[in-house]
Amino acid sequence: MKANCWYGKHDVRVENVPDPQIVNPRDAIVKITATAICGSDLHLYDGYIPTMERGDILGHEFMGEVMEVGRAITNLKVGDRVVVPFPIACGNCFFCKKELYSLCENSNPNAWMAEKMWGHSPCGIFGYSHLVGGYAGGQAEYVRVPYADVGPIKIENGLPDEKVLFLSDILPTGYMAAENCDIQPGDTVAVWGCGPVGQFAIASAFLLGAERVIAIDRFPERLAMAAANSGAEPLNYEEVDLFDALREITGGRGPDSCIDAVGMEAHGTGLVAAYDRAKQAVMLETDRPLALREAIMACRNGGTVSVPGVYGGFIDKMPIGSLMNRGLTLKTGQTHVHRYLRPLLERIENGDIDPSFIITHRMRLEDAAKGYRTFRDKIDDCIKVVLTP
Amino acid sequence: MKPDLQETGIGQSPGAPVSEQTVRTPTQTQLRSSEIQAFQAGQVRQRQTSVPVRARPRMPTNVNDTERVVSAALGALLLVTAVRGRPLSAVSRGLIGGTLLYRGLSGHCHVYQALHLSSTGKSAAARDTSVARTTVQRTVTIDRPADELYDLWRDPQTLRHVMDFFAEVEPAADGSTHWKVRAPLGKTFEWDSRNIEERRGECLRWESTAPSALRSIGSISFADAPHGRGTLVTLTFGFDPPGGRAGNAAAKLLRIVPSTLALKALQRFKSLIETGEIATASPRPSPRERHAHKDSK
């Protein structure tokens, strides 16, 4: 089969590789009908996530048709259309029973590796380095899905792929980020980063009752999308003093909650941004936490900072004094996608949200390398690339 | 030479002649339980230790002869000239000269040691194959009652499946198990292991049946987790070769004992019991796997 493989920094190639096969009784093989490039794939592309190996198949946002099932699978049959959550979860362990699926104790065979980096291990994840299992990803023609009785959700209503594909990751990720804000009537939510996750966090914040949502970015097309599709108030941080602007907009208090939908490769302006770039370049810090610092400083007293943005390692100049003295709550985590599949599918069916609005580019799987470049460099106002095999 | 091992009586057996190809432990000697307790006590001290504990002289020679002569000569020269220099320069010359002289006379360089370097031709680790005890221990929580876990661990099929990332484990008719570990370059290490303590729902201890080439010892113990959260399962492996040629052969095995052995084995056990299968990403259908399947089971 054809698959998009990682070969190093800024080097991905579509190669012929052996087809996946059923290994365990609870596996399924899914024939991919649509897959997407995630913003977090760019962290791999830019070489910021350790333990990638040449030839690893990328991709954790995908859906398709069940081709084959293991002998323990009774909920799926050949031909079913399914969307597959990016975290792999067993459904049996302590964390899965608490619906903390992305913290599954059994799905990461390389837990020992993750322990060295992070103290304890999260779940296994498709196509996202050996730290989280080294599983082959879904930017391919076929993929092996472990614990297929727990993860995949069947799509039986005939909705097109583009409306349901993002249930695999970014729609639940944006939604969980907003849910973590515990939004109260009258609340103002500020969202750093208007990429796909930011767009869905903004839309979800409104769905969950936010009065106002402030969208922060530096790309006009992304700000325009947030304003047009969700009714957010755009704020270009290159044009204003962000902190002052947020304080004034919110009557001097700051936003009730702040969402960092940027993560480890934040851009910024001025000396601090240069400082982080330099430190990251010489490996003195792994992540550039500009958005996180700003979100903490700007948040109102007692508010919540919610972090769906991906971080990999260590950061510098964390404003812990601000977090502590002002009683902020920090909420984060890889998304527990499984618990949002059903409710969000219903919202799509009801027409509450149509996630396909973020798609700007459609390409063939063979053009994955071009897709990564286009997305990374935001060529042609690229916000989201969907690939079809 | 190795006080911790002498105390336990481990490492004193002369051992049977062994080839380096296959280290197979004859089944004759039985270890006293006091030895095992002492071994266990040692393990408690090294809880979660994965780095072999080695008896090593405090200031090993890590500078070769040529370097020693040059160091000593240069050091002496600096010390002599220091007496005649300006005060500031005299102090620094004196310090550097003294350090070099010490380095030359003792053959030990602290900088090399800190950097794990040696100019004697053998790295510190390579020279130190005499005796090494490797002990690994971990605890995980498994969502099953202790009795059930005990029975499952005793099932040879379970053990075979759980350990197959490290060793081939085959049950024998007399209730013992035969362990075979493949080392690099086609070498294998084999030993027989038998249970020496069996207390259902509490613990199981086993050891290799003779200590001639490699003493392997292990235990798994079970304790209730609070508030019905399952069972705390603690797994310990110890590998302990005697000195001499046999020890050197066995020490090669220790280098392939993963520091994460206990964690991996326990995690595989937990995954098998809780989910009915062992999570794995292999074989991974990536381009290079057409040639070799990398085992990340």
**Are the CB atoms for A137 and A58 separated by under 8 Å?**
yes
pLDDT at B8: 34
- Amino acid (one-letter) located at A374: T
Give the residue-averaged pLDDT of B107-129. 58
Amino acid at A326: R
B113/B92 Cα distance (integer angstroms): 22
Residues 6+ apart with CB under 8 A from A133: A88, A107, A108, A109, A110, A124, A125, B279, B281
Place B14 in a pLDDT band, splitting at 50, 70 and 90: very low
Kindly indicate the confidence band of residue B123, based on its pLDDT and cuts at 50, 70 and 90: very low
Query: Mean pLDDT over residues A264-291, rounded?
Result: 83
pLDDT band at B10 (very low <50, low <70, confident <90, very high): very low
Question: Using an 8 Å Cβ cutoff, are A316 and A276 in contact?
Answer: yes
Integer angstrom CA distances of residue A299 from A189, A223, A244, A247, A302: 9, 20, 12, 9, 8
Architecture of domain A2-169+335-388: Alpha-Beta Complex (3.90)
Mutation for testing the A interface, residue in B286, B291, B293 having most A CBs under 10 Å: B286
Q: Which residues, other chains included, contact A273 with Cβ-Cβ below 8 Å and sequence gap of 6+? A: A266, A267, A288, A290
The domain defined by A171-332 carries CATH number 3.40.50.720: yes
Q: How does residue B114 score in pLDDT terms, banded at 50, 70 and 90?
A: low
pLDDT digits (tens, 9 = 90+) for A90-121: 999 999 999 999 999 999 999 999 999 999 99
Q: Lowest mean pLDDT: which of B110-119, B212-221, B268-277?
A: B110-119
In sequence order, what DSSP letters do the residues of A37-54 get, joined into one string?
E-HHHHHHHTT-SSS--T
* Per-residue model confidence (pLDDT) at position B242: 63
Nearest-angstrom CA–CA distance, A250 and A387: 41
Give CA separation, A367 vs A4, A39, A361, B284, in Å: 9, 17, 11, 22
What's the CA gap between A357 and A229, in Å, rounded? 8
Is B175 strand, coil or helix?
Answer: coil
Which residues in A192-223 are b (16+ Cβ under 10 Å) and which e? bbbbbbbbbbbbbbbbbebebbbbbbebeebb
The number of angstroms, rounded, from the C-alpha of B138 to the middle of its chain's C-alpha atoms is 14
Mutation target for A interface from B51, B284, B289, B297: give the one with most A CBs within 10 A: B284
- Tell if the CB–CB gap between B267 and A111 is shorter than 8 Å: yes
Burial class (CB in 10 A: 0-12, 13-18, 19+), B52: buried
Question: In this model, does residue B18 exceed pLDDT 50?
Answer: no
Instruction: Report the candidate in B275, B256, B278 with the shortest Cα–Cα distance to residue B159.
Output: B278
Residues in B lying within 8 Å of A, measured between beta carbons = 141, 143, 229-230, 260, 263-264, 267, 270-271, 274-290, 296-297
- What pTM was estimated for this model as a whole? 0.79
The answer to whether the CB of A376 falls within 8 A of the CB of A43 is: no
> What is residue A61's predicted lDDT score, i.e. its pLDDT?
98
Evaluate the omega torsion of the peptide bond into residue B283 and state whether it is cis, within 30 degrees of 0. Answer: yes
Pick A58 or B290 by higher pLDDT: A58
**Cβ B277–A110 below 8 Å, yes or no?**
no
pLDDT value at position A79?
98
Residue from the list A21, A94, A111 with its beta carbon closest to the beta carbon of B229 = A94
pLDDT at A379: 96
Q: Which of A1, A15, A90 sits opposite B275 (nearest CB)?
A: A90
Residues A383, A39 contacting (CB under 8 angstroms): no
Task: Please tell me the predicted confidence (pLDDT) of residue A171.
Answer: 98
Q: Which residue of A has its CA nearest to B138?
A: A112
Domains and CATH numbers, chain B: 3-11+19-54+129-275 (3.30.530.20), 65-125 (no CATH)
pLDDT at A74 over 70: yes
Among the ranges given (A27-36, A306-315, B114-123), the one the predictor scored with the smallest mean pLDDT: B114-123
| Rounded Cα gap, residues A223 and A202, in angstroms | 11
Average pLDDT over residues B234-240: 89
* Better pLDDT: A237 or B134: A237
CB A162 within 8 A of CB A359: yes
Among A130-134, A158-162, B42-46, B240-244, the minimum mean pLDDT is found in B42-46
Q: Residue holding tokens 């601000």?
A: A322
ipTM of the complex: 0.92
Residues of A within 8 A of B278 (CB-CB) are 24, 109
Question: What's the rounded Cα separation, in Å, for the pair B192 and B24?
Answer: 8
pLDDT digits (tens, 9 = 90+) for B27-50: 323 333 443 444 444 333 333 333
Identify any residues that bridge with B233 across adjacent strands, giving them in sequence order: B140, B222
Q: Tell me which chain A residues have a C-beta less than 8 angstroms from the C-beta of B271.
A: 90, 106
Q: Which helix (H) or strand (E) holds A263?
A: none
Listed in sequence order, the DSSP H helices in chain B are 3-8, 33-45, 65-82, 87-106, 110-114, 124-127, 146-154, 156-163, 244-256, 261-275
User: A289-341 pLDDT, tens per residue?
Assistant: 999 999 999 999 999 999 999 999 889 889 999 999 999 999 999 999 999 99
Query: Stretch B169-176: mean pLDDT, rounded?
Result: 86
Q: Which of A16, A134, A144 has the CB atom closest to B296's CB atom?
A: A134
Tens digit of each residue's pLDDT (9 = 90 or more) over A186-243: 999 999 999 999 999 999 999 999 999 999 999 999 999 999 999 999 999 999 999 9
Query: In this complex, which of A57, A92, A109 lies closest to B274 when CB atoms are compared?
Result: A92
User: For residue B187, with 0-12 CB atoms within 10 Å meaning exposed, 13-18 middle and 19 or more buried, which class applies?
Assistant: middle
Q: Where are the domains of chain A?
A: 2-169+335-388, 171-332
Res A139 pLDDT > 90: yes
Q: How confident is the model at residue B121 (pLDDT cuts 50, 70, 90)?
A: low
Q: What is the mean pLDDT of chain A?
A: 96
- Cα–Cα distance measured from residue B230 to residue B148, given in angstroms and rounded to the nearest whole number: 11
H-helix or E-strand spanning residue B281? none
Q: Read off the DSSP letter of residue A63.
A: E
- Residue ranges of A 116-135 with Cβ closer than 8 A to chain B: 124, 130, 133-135
Q: Is the pLDDT of residue B253 over 80?
A: no
CA B247, chain centre distance (Å): 13
d(CA A192, CA A104): 29
d(CA B223, CA A171): 42
Q: How far apart are CA A211 and CA A187, in angstroms?
A: 5
Tell me how many residue pairs between chain A and chain B have CB atoms under 8 A apart. 105
pLDDT above 80 for B61:
no
